[in-house]
């Protein structure tokens, strides 16, 4: 019998402490949890509960202060030591896709150019063939030549999703992806994330304060004062 696959993400007693003068602010305070491959997990909590800090640490955008972080069994951080910036960049480009509350599309590039922008820096083999399928899947194919300024908020977020997925990441991290959208568009994005998880088998970690959106996930983790409740 083969050994079980390691979790996509494993956090052990993870802490991220910020300093403001002499004061220490633990934004993430001893969080331990794991996310299996192909899971859809929502992290909810009030403002200032540490959701964004946690997802940034999980996504290797920020280093924890202490604890351990493993991705697919590979140690990223442990005992106060992190991988080099170059190694972290490799992990960011190969493992993760990020979606943020602000869409961060480049205003002078059209939809297609924004979507394929990650290829400028790194392209997974065969990823180029996915572009058309993604544009169709996200229903932005007819807008491929439009500039971001000509799109609605929902469309812009779908472009950001396509950009996050174009290099076929193993894990999609979405930080308040509906924060700038109305209810209807928020539901659309929620359904989309669920579809991507169910149909494509993508591991999704969603940070939101929108409980209705969070319920799309298989598992909801509640964070309060930097700790899992």
Nearer to another protein, 148 or 216 (CB): 148
Quick one: which H or E segment has residue 93? Answer: helix 85-95
Q: Is 84 in the site for another protein (CB under 8 A)?
A: no
Helix H, strand E, coil C: the string for 145-203 is CCCHHHCCHHHHHHHHHHHHHCCCCCEEEEECCCCCCCHHHHHHHHHHHHHHHHHHCCE
| Residue (31 or 194) nearer to another protein, CB | 31
Which of these ranges, 30-38, 39-47, 117-125, 134-142, lies near another protein under the rule CB under 8 A?
A: 117-125
Can you tell me the distance from the alpha carbon of 201 to that of 2, in angstroms, rounded to the nearest whole number?
21
42 binds another protein (CB under 8 A): no
In the complex, the smallest distance separating the C-beta of residue 211 from another protein, rounded to whole angstroms, is 25
- Residue 92 found at the interface with another protein (CB under 8 A): yes
**Smallest distance from another protein to CB 218, Å:** 25
Quickly count: other Cβ atoms within 10 Å of residue 51's Cβ.
Answer: 27
Q: Which of 46, 74, 87, 104 touches another protein by CB under 8 A?
A: 104
Angstrom distance (rounded) from CA 47 to CA 165: 27
Identified binder of another protein from the candidate list 28, 31, 70, 96, rule CB under 8 A: 96
Residue 125 within binding range of another protein, rule CB under 8 A? no
Looking at the Cβ atoms of 36 and 72, the one nearer to another protein is 72
CA distance 125 to 186: 32
Q: What is the DSSP string of 118-148?
A: GGGT---TTGGGHHHHHHHHTT-GGGTTS-G
- Of the residues 6, 83, 119, 227, which one makes contact with another protein according to CB under 8 A: 119
Q: Which residues bind another protein (CB under 8 A)?
A: 56, 59, 61-62, 85-86, 89-90, 92-94, 96, 98, 100, 102, 104, 106-109, 112-113, 116-123, 128, 131, 163-164, 167
């Amino acid at each position: 019998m083969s050994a079980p696959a390691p979790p996509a993400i494993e956090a052990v007693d993870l802490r991220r402490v910020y300093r403001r003068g002499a004061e220490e602010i633990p934004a993430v305070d001893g969080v331990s949890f794991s996310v299996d491959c192909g899971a859809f997990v929502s992290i909810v909590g009030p403002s200032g509960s540490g959701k964004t800090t946690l997802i940034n640490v999980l996504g290797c955008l920020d280093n924890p202060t202490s604890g351990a972080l493993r991705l697919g069994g590979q140690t990223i951080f442990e005992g106060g030591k992190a991988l080099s910036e170059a190694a972290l960049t490799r992990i960011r480009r190969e493992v993760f896709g990020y979606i943020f509350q602000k869409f961060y599309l480049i205003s002078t590039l059209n939809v297609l150019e924004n979507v394929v922008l990650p290829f400028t820096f790194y392209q997974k083999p065969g990823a180029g063939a996915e572009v058309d399928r993604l544009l169709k899947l996200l229903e932005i194919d007819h807008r491929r030549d439009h500039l971001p300024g000509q799109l609605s908020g929902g469309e812009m977020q779908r472009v950001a999703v396509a950009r996050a997925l174009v290099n076929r990441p193993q894990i999609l991290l979405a930080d308040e992806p509906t924060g700038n959208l109305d209810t209807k568009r928020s539901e659309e994005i929620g359904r989309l994330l669920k579809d991507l998880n169910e149909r494509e088998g993508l591991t999704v970690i969603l940070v939101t304060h929108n409980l209705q959106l969070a319920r799309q996930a298989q598992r909801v983790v509640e964070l309060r004062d930097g700790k899992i409740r």
